[in-house]
Amino acid sequence: MNKIARPLYDADPHAWYEEQASLLRDGRLDDLDAAHLIEELEDLGRSERDRLFSSLRLILTHLLKWRHQPERRSRSWTVTIERERINVDVWLSRSPSLKPKLPAEFAQAYRAARRDAAVETGLPQAEFPNECPFSPEQALEPGWLP
C-alpha cells in the first residue's frame, strides 16, 4: 500500500482518487490503496441503488398523495412523478444489473413512501394500504396516475 495513501485519502479525497487512477494507469498495482479502493467501489454500488430507491420513494409518495388527496393535486406533483420516472429509466438503462433488484427496492421504497405520505398529508398512516396498491409497471408508466 502506498505510504502516502492513508493521509491523502483522509486529507484530500480528490487528490487520492487522481493518485489511485494514475497508479492503475501505470500498472503500479502494488502501490494501490486496495482497502480504500474496495470500500469506494462498494460505496459506488450502494449509491446507484440509493438513487434508484430515492426516485421510487418520491414517485410512490406522490402517487399516494394523488390518490388520497384529490383536492390538493398539483402540477408540481405531476412534474415530480414524471421527472423521477425518467430518472428511474436512466438508472436502469445505465446499470442494467439493478433491474433484478427493482422488486425489492420498490417494496422497500413503498414502506418509506407510506410514512412520507402520512407526514406530508397529515393523514394517519393507517389510511395508506400496507401493501403497495400500484404495480411497479403502473408506477413507472409515463403519464399513469391512479
What is the crossing angle of helices 75-94 and 34-68, to 10°? 150
Residue (of 109, 55, 64) closest to 82 by Cα position: 55
Looking at per-residue pLDDT, the higher value among 36 and 62 belongs to: 62
pLDDT in tens, 105-119: 999 999 999 999 999
**Span 98-109, average pLDDT:** 96
What does the pLDDT look like over 8-59, one tens digit per residue? 888 898 999 999 999 999 999 999 999 999 988 888 878 889 999 999 999 9
Q: Give the DSSP letter of residue 128.
A: S
Whether 1 has a pLDDT exceeding 70, the answer reads no
As a whole number of angstroms, the distance between CA 61 and CA 110 comes to 8
The pLDDT tens digits for 111-141 are 999 999 999 999 999 999 999 999 999 999 9
pTM of structure: 0.82
72-85: average pLDDT: 97
Report residue 6's pLDDT band, with 50, 70 and 90 as the boundaries.
low
Specify the length of the chain in residues: 146
